[in-house]
């Protein structure tokens, strides 16, 4: 979905989106990550964020060590910096977390094109569902999130999806794909 390909839409968005845009551009986060095709995913782009929502940035690397070193070199001086290498669904994954001006940032990288990563696919199907189901649906999702529920389980609960909420939403992606 082209709307989310660049961060420019945030500049004219709601207050949190505008704040995210200022943080990301003011600290050149996307410029630093540019070789890794960064995309902002999660709740802020689709306007279901709550107080404390973080900025989730996904990236695609071809060399894990280079990506890891770039994250350390550019972001380790930020408060709360941590970085780890883990295996998620049999894929090597690098995750860095830190804060910029009090906002948590998570950079998630795999050797998978960003639009094929689950975070992007979840966000897109959630965006479609929000657009198709209206403002009351959006408010129900936000209310569940304010009560501490994660995004995908909130969608699954309201939609009555059975089983693993993350997998259930991805199955919606295949049937919903436009």
* CATH number, domain with residue 106: 3.30.460.10
Same domain, 136 and 75: no
Positive or negative, the CA dihedral 26, 27, 33, 35 is positive
Same domain, 135 and 104: no
How many helices (DSSP H) and strands (DSSP E) are in the chain?
A: 7, 5
Task: Say if CB 39 and CB 58 are below 8 A apart.
Answer: yes
User: For residues 161 and 169, is the Cβ–Cβ distance under 8 A?
Assistant: yes
Q: Tell me, yes or no, whether 163 and 81 share the same domain.
A: no
| 56 and 142 part of one domain | no
Give me the half-sphere count of Cα atoms (radius 13 Å) on the Cβ side of residue 125: 24
Tens-digit pLDDT profile for residues 134-172:
999 999 999 999 999 999 999 999 999 999 998 888 887
86 and 143 share a domain?
Answer: no
Q: What is the pLDDT of residues 20-50, one digit of tens each?
A: 999 999 999 999 999 999 999 999 999 999 9
Q: Are residues 108 and 137 in the same domain?
A: no
Number of structural domains (the chain) is: 2
The torsion angles phi and psi of 80, rounded to 5 degrees, stand at 75, 15
The range of the structural domain enclosing residue 17 comes to: 2-113
Quickly tell me which residue has 């709360």 as its tokens. Answer: 80
0.75 surpassed by pTM: yes
DSSP H helices, the chain, are: 8-11, 15-26, 29-33, 64-75, 118-146, 151-159, 165-176
> 82 and 16, same structural domain?
yes
- Does residue 56 sit in the same domain as residue 125? no
Which of 95, 113, 131 is the endpoint of a domain? 113
């Amino acid at each position: 979905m082209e709307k989310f390909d660049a961060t420019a839409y945030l500049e004219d968005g709601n207050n949190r989106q505008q704040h995210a845009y200022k943080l990301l551009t003011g600290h050149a986060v996307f410029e630093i990550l540019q070789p890794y095709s960064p995309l902002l995913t999660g709740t802020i782009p689709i306007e279901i964020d709550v107080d404390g929502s973080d900025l989730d940035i996904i990236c695609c690397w071809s060399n894990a060590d280079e990506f890891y070193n770039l994250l350390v070199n550019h972001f380790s001086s930020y408060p709360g910096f941590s970085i780890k290498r883990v295996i998620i669904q049999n894929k090597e994954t690098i995750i860095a977390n830190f804060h910029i001006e009090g906002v948590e940032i998570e950079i998630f990288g795999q050797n998978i094109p960003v639009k094929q990563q689950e975070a992007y696919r979840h966000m897109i199907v959630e965006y479609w569902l929000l657009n198709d189901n209206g403002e009351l649906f959006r408010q129900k999702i936000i209310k569940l999130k304010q009560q501490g529920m994660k995004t995908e389980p909130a969608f699954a609960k309201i939609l009555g999806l059975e089983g693993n909420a993350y997998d259930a939403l991805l199955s919606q992606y295949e049937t919903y794909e436009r």
